Each structure stands twice: as C-alpha cells, then as structure tokens.
C-alpha cells in the first residue's frame, strides 16, 4: 500500500505545491524534478524518458520512415504512397492519418506560418489525393482542440466548422473509407451534434468498419461529452460493443476506456481501484489483450491504459508486463492528455518498477 498512500499524500499537498503537482483524469502527475526517473529504466532495458516517442502508441517503422522523409525533404510523396498502400478498413490507416495530422499540427506550433509545408504542397499539388485530404481534416481537428484560443472560443468553432467541411470533402474522394467519418466523430463531440445527427454519422462508420476500435473510442468520447456527469449512455455503449465483439476483438476492452472517461480529477478513495466496476473493466481488457492478434494496431492503446489501472490496483507484475510491451512509445491515453506525456508515463513506469521490486521482482525475473 505504500505507493498508493504516497500518491494520496501528494494529492493532499497540492495546495502547497500547486506549481509542481497537476491533477488530471486518471491520476496525479508529479512535476517534481527527477520524480519520474526514481527507478532507472536502464536496469530493465527500458528507454530513458528523453528517448520516449510521444507521436505514436507503438512501433510503426514504415510510418516513421515516411514522417522523417516528408519533414526532412518537405516533399509529400512518401506520405501519400504510404497511405495509398494502407488498407482502408483497418485501424492502421486511421492511426497513420492521425500521426501525419499531429506532426503537421506540431510543426505549425513550433514554426507558425512556415511549418508543415509538405502538407500545404500536398493539398495544392494533389488536391484529389484522398490521403492528403484526410490528413488535412485531421490537422484541423487537432488545431481546434489544441491551439484555437480554447474550447468555446470563436476561433475554436470556426476551425471545427472548417474541419467538418474537410471531412466531408475527404469522404467524397474515397468512397468506402471510414477514416473521414471517424475524424468527423471528433467534430461531432466538439460541436455538440444532436443524437440524430450523431446516429446518422455513426451509421456511415459502422457500415464501412463495424468492428473498428478507434471509431468506437471516438464515439465513446461523444457520449461522455454529451452526457457529462452521467455514465449511463457511455456505459451502455461500451458494454454493448464489448458484448457483441467477436473473439480476438479489442472491443472487449472498451468498458475500461469508459471507466477512464469518468475518473475524478483526483481519486482519494482508498478502495476505488479494488472496486467491482474497475476490476470487471480491467479483467475484460486483459482478456482482450490476451486474445487479440499480436499485430493488432490498437493493442498498444489498450496496454497503455491497463498500465495506469494496474499500477493503481497494485498488480505490479501485470503492470510490468504492459511496460515490457509498450515501452519506448507514449502516444496514447492516458499520457497524451498530460502536459508532459513522457513524464507522466515515466512516473507510472517508475511506480510499477518500485512495486515489482518491493514484492521480490527484479530484471532477472521479468520475462523477455
């Protein structure tokens, strides 16, 4: 219990150490210097914090090569070729579109007015390229959420309206591709689509990719946003999807994401992580992980979220198993909501290592 009580004590000291402690969904982020490196990751062969990749949830060398190429050369062709060769109905295409859109958004933050020239050239030189249209729509969504003057501002809404139009243009360029509609799910959440509007959009998604995990996560965000403070709609949606999930589908993990969406800012209830709701959701996610294809592109997303919950539950060996699989990449919930994703992940990793070692574990006992 020592580590859990340590987290609780730090939360209670938040009023004194406000500049150093940030409260976020899913737990407590400590910003004290060096706190996330309390356990040396090199003892286990883990990546050092400064080497963690915040762009993606797990390895995708083809994507990394294409990203490096477009950013180094300013030419868009490598990105276009990669997306053209990525199946429309799979999770990987959605993830790659998100990664290209996120990279462009980050460039524009770092170099206002001059960043992401490769995307601008892509749209000008190949206006009817479906991949370029999808990446542009994703860029607009990410700009709206991150850099448009705050939720509810005039700029925020203007960019979201532009993103909605970009999604619909992208859909026309690639019939049968669910990605533009999945991207629009984020717009639906932000603009507050009515249930009828959302249902019409959701029907287009599931007609094209009925078992798409990324689409279900985006839809879950909509239900959590629309019914803020009430878990009924979100829970019903997540449990229905899990119940009809075929063998090997990661949709069985969706209830854990619903629990995460409704976590309080700081949880000071000692038994929360041992509650029946959390236990059932975690067991469902572990079942999904154990039965999923090893190459499922969404597997890392589930493992990252499991890591946070398993640390809270003091299930150290299982938490270390998730670290072993995902270490090196932190572009996923719950870390991506933090101001310092790598620092947030590194803290939970250090807690997992400390708990593992306190219960007799060591680098020699961690399976390869």
- Structure confidence at residue 186 (pLDDT): 92
DSSP secondary structure, 20-73, as one string? TEEEETTEEEE-STTGGGSS-GGGGTPPPGGG-BSS-SS--HHHHHHHHHHHHH
- pLDDT < 50 positions in the chain: 1-38, 149, 265-266
pTM summary value? 0.84
Q: Which of 234, 303, 241 is nearest to 57 (CA)?
A: 303
Residue 115 DSSP class: S
Strand, helix or coil for residue 94: helix
- Structure confidence at residue 125 (pLDDT): 97
- Structure confidence at residue 10 (pLDDT): 39
Alpha-carbon span 125 to 75, nearest angstrom:
11
- Structure confidence at residue 337 (pLDDT): 81
> How big is the CA angle at 311 (ends 365 and 42), to the nearest 5 degrees?
45
At 120-164, the pLDDT tens digits run 999 999 999 999 999 999 999 988 877 554 556 777 889 999 999
| Token output for 262 | 């409704």
CA distances from 4 to 7, 168, 180, 236, 244 (A): 5, 47, 42, 30, 35
For the chain, the structural domain boundaries read: 1-59+227-368, 61-212
61-212, CATH topology level: 1.25.40
């Amino acid at each position: 219990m020592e580590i859990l009580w340590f987290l609780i004590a730090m939360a209670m000291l938040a009023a004194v150490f406000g500049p150093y402690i940030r409260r976020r969904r899913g737990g407590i982020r400590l910003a004290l210097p060096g706190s996330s490196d309390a356990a040396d990751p090199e003892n286990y062969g883990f990546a050092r914090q400064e080497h963690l990749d915040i762009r993606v949830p797990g390895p995708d060398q083809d994507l990394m090569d294409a990203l490096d190429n477009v950013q180094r050369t300013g030419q868009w062709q490598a990105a276009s070729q990669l997306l053209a060769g990525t199946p429309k109905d799979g999770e990987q295409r959605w993830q790659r579109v998100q990664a290209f859109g996120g990279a462009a958004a980050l460039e524009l933050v770092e170099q206002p007015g001059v960043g992401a020239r490769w995307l601008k050239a892509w749209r000008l030189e190949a206006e009817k390229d479906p991949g370029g249209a999808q990446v542009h729509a994703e860029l607009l969504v990410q700009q709206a959420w991150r850099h448009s003057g705050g939720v509810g501002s005039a700029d925020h809404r203007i960019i979201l309206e532009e993103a909605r139009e970009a999604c619909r243009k992208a859909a026309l360029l690639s019939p049968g591709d669910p990605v533009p509609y999945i991207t629009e799910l984020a717009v639906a959440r932000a603009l507050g689509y009515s249930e009828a509007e959302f249902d019409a959009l959701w029907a287009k998604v599931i007609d094209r990719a009925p078992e798409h995990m990324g689409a279900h996560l985006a839809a879950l965000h909509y239900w959590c946003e629309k019914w803020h403070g009430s878990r009924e709609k979100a829970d019903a949606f997540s449990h229905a999807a899990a119940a009809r999930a075929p063998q090997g589908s990661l949709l069985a993990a969706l209830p854990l994401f619903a629990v995460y969406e409704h976590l309080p800012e700081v949880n000071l209830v000692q038994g929360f992580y041992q509650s029946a709701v959390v236990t059932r959701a975690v067991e469902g996610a572990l079942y999904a992980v154990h039965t999923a294809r090893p190459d499922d592109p969404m597997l890392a997303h589930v493992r990252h979220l499991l890591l946070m919950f398993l640390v809270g539950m003091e299930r150290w060996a299982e938490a270390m198993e998730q670290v072993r699989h995902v270490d090196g990449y932190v572009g996923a919930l719950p870390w991506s909501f933090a101001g310092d994703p790598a620092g947030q992940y590194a803290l939970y990793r250090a807690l997992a290592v400390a708990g593992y070692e306190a219960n007799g574990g060591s680098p020699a006992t961690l399976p390869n």
